[in-house]
A and B are shown apart, each in its own frame.
Chain A
Amino acid sequence: EIVLTQSPDTLSLSPGERATLSCRASQSVSANYLAWHQQKPGQAPRLLIYGASNRATGIPDRFSGSGSGTDFTLTISRLEPEDFAVYYCQQYGTALITFGQGTRLEIK
């Protein structure tokens, strides 16, 4: 099973700032099959990024994904108030799908 470790656990930033979230895999993720999901309190998760760097339908271009192999990054270029949430990375390169533990992005 591929273990995904996200860092930091919590990130405190202000609106307008740039956010950089990390996801590290215990082994290489096949074909960069890495997704990012956003979850707000009381809501279901929402897909942001798939294939490490492809934005899902309707996702603003301030969200971008990068990385390959074992190291992946989600960047939010300029934080909007609605971006403060929990973010999860997910790998789907193996039959056993796994998620990271999440990064909480909070308002400073």
Chain B
Amino acid sequence: EVQLLESGGNLVQPGGSLTLSCAASGFTFSSYAMSWVRQAPGKGLEWVSSISNAGTTYNAESVKGRFTISRDNSKNTLCLQMDNLRVEDTALYYCAKGRQAFDVWGQGTMVTVSP
């Protein structure tokens, strides 16, 4: 069974940093692009960042220069390093398989940025 399990969400102050992880199983992780999508409380979906299977990265304008996506194919793990966090980054962060139509989603990990 294909599964994605996010972790690392927490409460952090504005300007702080946090690293999210996503453990993948049930598919050949190294063959697929992966992405992060977030959802602020009561709001819609917002694409954050993607990484190709070869390591090319893509970022939304709202996080460019602050968030860094990476992957470790030996550990089947996707990461999101988030620096200089803002209140508006508060959201449930989903890991998703692919960089086109996201066909598998994790259950999400909550990031709260508050003084």
- Chain A residues close to B by CB (< 8 Å): 1, 33, 35, 37, 39, 44-47, 50-51, 56-57, 88, 90, 92, 95-102
Contacts and interface: CB of A to CB of B under 8 A. Distances in A.
Given A96-B60, A96-B61, A50 B47 contact: no
Contact of A44 (B44, B60, B105): B105
B102 A47 contact: yes
Given A44-B105, A47-B103, 10 more contacts: A35-B102, A37-B45, A47-B104, A47-B105, A88-B44, A88-B45, A96-B58, A96-B60, A96-B61, A102-B45
Interface in B76-115: 94, 99-108
B46 interface: yes
Contacts of A37: 45, 102
Contact of A45 (B50, B61, B105): B105
A1 B62 CA distance: 12
Contacts of B46: 99
Interface residues of B, number: 21
Contacts of A39: 45
Contact of A50 (B35, B44, B50, B100): B100
B99 A92 contact: yes
B80 to A, nearest CB: 15
B61 A92 contact: no
A77 to B, nearest CB: 21
Contact of B103 (A50, A88, A98): A50
B101 A92 contact: yes
